[in-house]
Amino acid sequence: MTMKLLRQIALPEGTAGKARHTRNGAILLSPAALSIVQYASDPGFYLLYVDAEGRELTDTYHDTLDGALSQAEWEFAVTPGQWKIVPDS
């Protein structure tokens, strides 16, 4: 499945989001970075929560890019202008 990276941002160390994300009942650590991606086979946008080694911790799905940006703004106070826009390669 082809993935296109659209936006990314590093979060200050220790940044805690407003939402709690869990896996198998355990609360996940705070992410070190966020990315917004889109898969070729899917019209939606994924907000990826990434650890310091670049591994995906979890994600949220959004129908629009604005929806993903709004989730990051609500959860981590990341404004749309703070994101690094990844150019097409």
Residue listed under structure tokens 């890019």: 65
pLDDT at residue 89 in the model: 67
For 14-68, write each residue's pLDDT tens digit: 788 888 888 899 888 899 999 999 999 999 999 999 999 999 999 999 999 999 9
Using alpha carbons, select from 35, 54, 55 the residue that is nearest to residue 46: 35
pTM (predicted TM-score): 0.91
- Measure CA 84 to chain center: 12
Contact between 1 and 39 (Cβ < 8 Å): yes
Domain ranges of the chain: 3-85
pLDDT at residue 20 in the model: 84
Query: Helices then strands (H, E): number in the chain?
Result: 1, 7
User: Residue 73 — pLDDT band, cuts 50, 70, 90?
Assistant: very high
pLDDT of residue 88 exceeding 90? no
